[in-house]
Amino acid sequence: EPTAEPTAEPTAEPTKLPIPMPTVAPGNPSKMPSSYPTPEPSSDPTVVPSSVPTSMPSALPTPAPEAGVLVTTPDWHTVSEESGKQTSSFEISLTAEPLDTVYVNFTSLGNTAMDPAWVKFTFGNYDTPQTVTVSGIDDSIDQGPWYKDHIDVNFTSADECKEGTRDLPCGQYVAYNGFDGTNSADGKSLRMDVNVTDDDTAGVQVTTTHVNTTFDNYGDALGEDMYGIRLTSEPRYDVTLSLSTDGRFSYTDVPSVTFTADDWYTVQYVTVTSSAATGRRPVCQDSLTREPAKYKQKCAELTGRKDVISHAFTSSDPFYTDATNSVQDVKIYSTVFYDPVLPPFLSTAKFTTLLNGVLVTFDKDTVQPGGAGSFECVSVLNLTVTKKTLGTDWIGDGALCSWLSASSLKVTFGMGPTVIPDDILHLKDGVVQSSNAYASLFAMNQSITILGPDKPTVPTVTFNAPQAIGVCDDLTLDASASQGSGGRDMTFNYTVKCSNADACANVTAVLDEANKVNGGTGTHTVTIPASVISKGLKMEFKLTASNFLGEMTSRTTSVEKLGYPAPNVAIQGGNPRETTYSEELVLRADASLPEMKCVADSLSNAKMTYVWTELTGQYTGSLSTTNPRILRIAKNQLLATKSYEFQCFVALTSNTENNNTASVVVDVTQQPVTAKIAGGKERASGTDQALVLDAGDSVDPDDMSDEWSYVWSCVNKTDGTVCKDTTGGQLQIQPNTTNALARVPAGKLYTGTYEFSVFVKKDDRNDTTSTTVVITAGAPPVVSIGTLSEDKYNPIADSYLRLAGSATSSGSIVSTEWTQVGSSVTGAFISGSDMRATGVVQLDALTAGVTYTFMLTAKDTFGESSYSTVEVVMNEAPSSGGLSITPSHGYVFETDFSFLSENWVDEDLPLSYKFVYTVGYEGSWTPVADAQASASYDALLPQGLVEDNYTLTGMTVVYDYYDSYSSATDTTRVLPVKYSTAQLANISAALTTEALELGDPEASMQIMGATHKSLSGGSSDERRKLMSSSEEAALRTTLLATLKETYTVSDVTEANVDSMMSTLDGIVNAPNDLTTATAIDSLLFAKKLLRVSVDSEIGISTTGTGYVGTALSYLLLSSMFNASDVTSATPVSAANVTDTLRFLSMAQLYGAYAGIEYTVSSAMIHSASAREEAQYLGGDSRGMPGSNVKVSFPSNFSNAAKLPVSGNTYVDMRVVTLDTDVYTAYASYRNSGNTVASNMYGSSTYNTDLNSAVTQVEVMDEDGNVFDVGGLDPAEPIYVTMQATEPIDTNFSGWKMEKICYTDGQVLEIDCPLGKQTYTCDSSLGGVDGTYFLDFTCPGVVPTCMWWSEDEGEWPTKAAAW
């Protein structure tokens, strides 16, 4: 409670002592001296004996004396500012005895000092003269040769006198306090004039009278110089010196400098630069030649010169003006610094072999303008000038440039380039510069003729066509996947030979017309109507394709027209096609029902049967399929050098005699062996160490049974001779030159650089590789880097490379560090891994087509360091192609949209094509099918949104052999069709049934996508309601059942998981319209799909992860977790949420390295999943996007938690926050969507518990086995910090209410903070009349950290600390 106001008691007023009047200190009249003396008490006796008679004569009384002073002084005091050089003095005394002690103080205007500054007179010495010395006060201000001052004399005294204490009556003594000196004994004024001789001179001092500057060969300023300026005296007002040069090409860094009274003596420095005396760049314009031999670095304009800097005053100080002062000029001596090298010159510009770019080389290394990675070519090329008027798109739409090395620039064409050999490539002026540190000149006026390739690519024709067609079917010949175009349209020419020449005429006519389209360049895809092909006709089609350089090739394919209806079937890709022992073979059959329009029969159903066989008998493995149209032969099943023939038999299930077949020959090519030396591309070793080289990691991708053979050799890189040992003889490699291990004993090599090579051989295949070893003195740490598993790596998002290094020493390793050498790339390593022995590289930070060198350096306790390097080759993605979607508009469920991806170029064949779409122009992408060999695909698309004019954006993603990819987009419009609930359900059921009967699960998912998008209607803001919620709920239940059936015939691939998760997201996106059973089933399906993704080792894409997050968010809001629908299944569903999120984390982290983290952020779910080596766990905090929760792990967590793993074992951490409590039901979501919930398992007296988000933390191994962290020390726990979403009143005052009960059974209504509460009065608790006071405590929000028990199914456990 507040304390009483303290009472202030009066205190005695202090006695006031007389204080002498302070004097003004010399030099500052406004300030009082701090050392002014305190008046001293008199030592005179109280009674003074006197010989004067006690009685006075009756004569007139003696008049009282007057105050007076005697000053002996010259007429003028002349003093000097310079200390001790010239002084003056005066004497002073009183003419009458004072009443009390008199203090005489001397003051001046501040330019004169008196010593002493004051004197004291008493009755004993008042008439004794005291000498005062006058001197000048030295300042820094120039006030002319001399200036005046004066001395004032001031008197102070207490003027107190007690009768009987002096010889005379007090009236006979004089009062001096405030005496003004009007009664001086010598009649002189007490103000004394002083002449002060000034020793200061106003002026400017410069530290040097000349500076030296340089400018470069280009003409720009290079070397700077500086000079300092200060004043020689303190100015009374600010002084500004303006700086100017007498030439336009010398410059000062400031236009002026200003001095004040505070900084006048501080030197201010002026930086001076100079450029060439002309505005032209480069200066020597007449030397701009395309020939280095004729280039001139010197010209008349590029010469040294002398400029002058002058200064001008601006000040109110009369001593600092141009009229009264001057500043010495500063001369500028400018000289030219010539480049040590000429600017870069274009050496060559040549088409690449693939014809999709131009490789430009320079005669020297450049600064690589545009930087690392790919950039727009306009940065380095003049795209508006060519030999021909081609416009700015002559290298194609979306063309990119990249530096493959410091002297090699690659121009990768975009879509539709027009450049051809003999066109002129022009370099952009003033951009490309030598990498020499002292270079200034740029490549100017540089152009070069583009040469054709050394060995141009030849087109490869790939047919996608059936081997036989039914009697009523049209024939489509599709060669859109043909290669060798160089990124532009090829010329196609079809011809045909027939078993019946007469019957061939109509077919030939159709082909002739096709050859005339596109301005006579023909088309890759031709459809021949069934009406022009006779029954039984056997046709051999020949397609000749030629690219823009005239390179051409031809391929034939044979087709027979059957005399009866038969299913259409064709196997995608070329025939024959190639594969290898080490890769999976995927054969995809395109199949459709036979046309029946030309016969009287009809089909009873759409169900078809597929049977795959291998016709040569050499393959005896499994031919079973999940998707009946796709045969997958696992890697390491087809033997190198063998040929196989696979056939797909397709028949109507109701009548298997109505069938057709397609076959393909598969040649398994033999792959080359690869020689590898463990340890690194270059490494350091010591003279005192044995050198061991190991070629045991050499690779035979075909795993042939023949033995390896090895031949080692060594060359001294200094002189190119065969290596010699320290005895002078040829170096002997132990145990011999034909072993996988090569050993050189310690002391056998002098310091120097050596190249060790190994020639490896297996059967008739061989390869050679080498490693450089730098021998240094002593025994530095041994640093080694493991061999890489791939020939190339892809610079794409979420791709990483683990560089496994190690370092050992006879002492201890104190540090390791990874660096990238030889390029300007930054941020190549994920945070922290660059300081470990094993580093993880973020591949998307690197540039396609470039070979990078990474170095691992280690230091030991002896201060010794060593290193090893490894080279990483970056793959180039497919380029120069595009996508077209036809028609430009259509209707949902009624229009088949054709995707065509063409003219893509890459050296790593074969290419595969994936087609995806998004509603509108941007958003999550949904696959229409898995990646395939065909460059075209027909798909059913969902309707667009009205706000986007029903636009859908389609994308083709094109992959090469190493899975590097590029993409292109196109748009189309998909308009809605109005269906009733029953119509929508019926058409969806009919189409999905047909698709599944045809063995086409991808078409089934397309139809389901169109269906759930139709449920969402044509607007993103509101959902079109059907006739009743129950009908819509039934339709969603049906869709889920269809999705589950589709899953059973779908291969588990990344694209299919994305597609199924997208479909599930669409099914559950209206939680109100899901039955509890459908919601539970949907959660189980998500869990199952994620688990199989983990088990199948495919992981999950970023797109798929997004769909999981949104789908689970919808399910968290479903009736599955509504208190009114609680069943025994509800706790199981809560556990399934945990399991599903665990599998999501495992799928995200599949194949991840230490230090990698993935996140999810959706409406209700926020998670972070990270992988780390056990030894580096802990000491950090994990957060999640979209959530304020933080989880902090103790340092050295692995040891603290006693995890049963070694230090380098991968440990996964999963932190997830659910914005709703899956253990607490949403009581009123259907109506208001609020977050007030009732606890499902604990007691809730008032049914208004407020629950925070639920945070889950798990630490597990790579297989999802969760570690028990119960061994953690309570002093070092895992901290989970959660932010309250509601105010927490921990004061409790707002929860206490007072009421009065008057009668028994009276119901009181109490307004509590969380809502009204009631209380029924009980008169037995009251007094005689039953009345009593009620102290009521409302339910309140009390922060309590609770841990859920899966075993107990409740929240029984409070946290150890809060």
Contacts of 568 (CB under 8 A, 6+ apart): 466, 469, 470, 473, 590, 591, 592, 593, 594, 660
What is the per-residue pLDDT for 30? Answer: 32
Could you say which residues of the chain have pLDDT below 70? Answer: 1-64, 82-84, 182-189, 385-392, 1017-1029, 1122-1130, 1223-1252, 1284-1292, 1340-1344, 1349-1362
Q: What number of CA atoms fall less than 13 Å from residue 1355's CA on the CB side? A: 18
Helices 1001-1016 & 1054-1067, crossing angle to 10 degrees?
Answer: 30
What is the per-residue pLDDT for 1285? Answer: 59
What is the per-residue pLDDT for 20? Answer: 30
d(CA 1101, CA 1056): 11
Check the CA dihedral 287-293-297-298 and report its sign: negative
DSSP-based three-state secondary structure for 806: strand
User: How is residue 139 written in tokens?
Assistant: 């300042």
What is the per-residue pLDDT for 189? Answer: 58
What is the per-residue pLDDT for 1287? Answer: 63
pLDDT tens column, 33-56? 333 333 333 333 333 333 333 333
Q: Which of 995, 967, 931 is nearest to 588 (CA)?
A: 931
d(CA 793, CA 1069): 39
* C-alpha torsion 1194→1195→1196→1198, nearest 10: 20
DSSP-based three-state secondary structure for 309: strand
DSSP-based three-state secondary structure for 94: strand
What is the per-residue pLDDT for 993? Answer: 96
What is the per-residue pLDDT for 894? Answer: 96
Edge to edge, what strands does the sheet with 76-80 contain? 76-80, 192-197, 146-157, 102-107, 118-121
User: How is residue 125 written in tokens?
Assistant: 């010495």
Q: Which of 437, 443, 429, 347 is nearest to 384 (CA)?
A: 429
